[in-house]
């Protein structure tokens, strides 16, 4: 693995972080009997620049999933979990993560500062998720962070409907914060919405449920996304 998570995403032709998440917010299975090697191979064939692995148990995740995905691919990996302490960062490194999710609305400002600094010291890209202007203002060292606008609602365990307009509303603030890599994450279900978010100025998207639900039709979903991006 040579590129950092942020570089891989910024340099990608198709800048989609493709996610492995066992269950959606309602508890529905997203793997459909497919193994991790099969899903990772499909994402690699689809040209994913980096992957996200949800280890959080709300979504059926485990650390073993991340360990196994690390053994299957050299792509940079984002660990999606509730990371709150320095020792979580050390575990992420040991598991083979290249980036860690830090959810601004769930962390006190001092904790977010400590975790962003700690992640960078360990060579991890901080992938800071925000949902409000106050969250954006709280991100330290934004120039070194991916800042992702979450369209979902983690407080409801993603059971509430996603709001893609949040990405529209927050883009200018996120860009002004100085991140080289603004991302829109969660609830992106339609190739047309995905294409529109990149056209607006997002440098990357993070998509889980819909790519997993697409199953063998993943290349079709992505081809439509590419067609709509180019049609703009
Ligand atoms: O958002 C969090 O704080 C979080 C913490 C631990 C595990 C998962 C978490 N969020 C869930 C996600 O990030 C979504 O899986 C991801 O954005 C993809 O969303 P979707 O495309 O709607 O499956």
Is the pLDDT reported for residue 42 higher than 90?
A: yes
Which residue ranges make up each domain of the chain? 5-231
Ligand 1: centre distance to CA 128 (Å): 12
pLDDT at 88: 98
What is each CA distance from 188 to 49, 66, 152, 185, in whole angstroms? 18, 23, 9, 7
By alpha-carbon position, which residue is closest to atom 14 of ligand 1? 186
Which of 59, 80, 149, 156 maximizes ligand 1 atoms within 8 Å of its Cβ, making it the mutation to test the pocket?
80
Please tell me the distance from the alpha carbon of residue 112 to that of residue 84, in angstroms, as a whole number: 8
Residue 4 confidence class, pLDDT cut points 50, 70, 90? very high
Please tell me the distance from the alpha carbon of residue 103 to that of residue 120, in angstroms, as a whole number: 16
Q: What are phi and psi of 105, to 5 degrees?
A: -70, -15
For residue 170, the cross-strand partners are none
Beta carbons of 147 and 181 less than 8 angstroms apart: yes
The third-level CATH classification (topology) of the domain covering 5-231 is TIM Barrel (3.20.20)
Residue 2 confidence class, pLDDT cut points 50, 70, 90? low
ipTM value of the model?
A: 0.96
Q: What angle do CA 170, 23, 124 make, to 5 degrees?
A: 55
> Which tokens is 13 given?
């032709």
User: Could you count the other beta carbons within 10 Å of the beta carbon of residue 197?
Assistant: 22
Quote the pTM value: 0.96
Ligand 1: centre distance to CA 109 (Å): 21
What's the rounded mean pLDDT across residues 202-206?
Answer: 98
Ligand 1: centre distance to CA 77 (Å): 14
Ligand 1: centre distance to CA 186 (Å): 6
Is the pLDDT reported for residue 158 higher than 80?
A: no
Pocket of ligand 1 (CB under 6 A): 19, 21, 54, 56, 59, 80-82, 101, 103, 129, 150, 152, 154, 158, 185-188, 206-210
Ligand 1: centre distance to CA 58 (Å): 10
Ligand 1: centre distance to CA 71 (Å): 23
Is the pLDDT reported for residue 191 higher than 60?
A: yes
pLDDT in tens, 48-99: 999 999 999 999 999 999 999 999 999 999 999 999 999 999 999 999 999 9
Which of 83, 101, 162, 189 maximizes ligand 1 atoms within 8 Å of its Cβ, making it the mutation to test the pocket?
101
Which atom of ligand 1 lies at the shortest distance from residue 189's CA? 21
Beta carbons of 9 and 180 less than 8 angstroms apart: no
Which atom of ligand 1 lies at the shortest distance from residue 185's CA? 17
Nearest to 122 by CA among 95, 162, 158: 95
Is the pLDDT reported for residue 167 higher than 60?
A: yes
């Amino acid at each position: 693995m040579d590129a950092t998570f942020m570089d891989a995403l910024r340099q990608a032709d198709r800048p989609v972080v493709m996610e492995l998440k066992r269950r959606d917010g309602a508890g529905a299975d997203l793997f459909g009997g497919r193994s991790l090697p099969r899903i990772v191979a499909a994402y690699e064939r689809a040209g994913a620049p980096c992957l996200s692995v949800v280890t959080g148990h709300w979504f059926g995740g485990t650390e073993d999933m991340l360990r196994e995905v690390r053994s299957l691919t050299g792509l940079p990996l984002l660990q999606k979990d509730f990371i709150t302490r320095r020792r979580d960062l050390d575990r992420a490194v040991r598991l083979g993560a290249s980036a860690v999710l830090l959810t601004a609305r769930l962390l006190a400002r001092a904790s977010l500062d400590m975790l962003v600094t700690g992640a960078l010291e360990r060579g991890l890209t901080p992938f800071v998720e925000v949902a409000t202007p106050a969250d954006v203002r709280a991100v330290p060292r934004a120039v070194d962070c991916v800042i992702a606008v979450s369209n979902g609602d983690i407080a409801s365990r993603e059971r509430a409907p996603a709001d893609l307009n949040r990405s529209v509303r927050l883009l200018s603030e996120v860009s002004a914060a100085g991140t080289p890599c603004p991302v829109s994450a969660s609830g992106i279900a339609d190739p047309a919405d995905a294409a529109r978010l990149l056209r607006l100025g997002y440098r990357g998207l993070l998509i889980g449920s819909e790519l997993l639900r697409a199953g063998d039709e993943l290349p079709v979903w992505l081809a439509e996304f590419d067609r709509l991006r180019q049609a703009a």
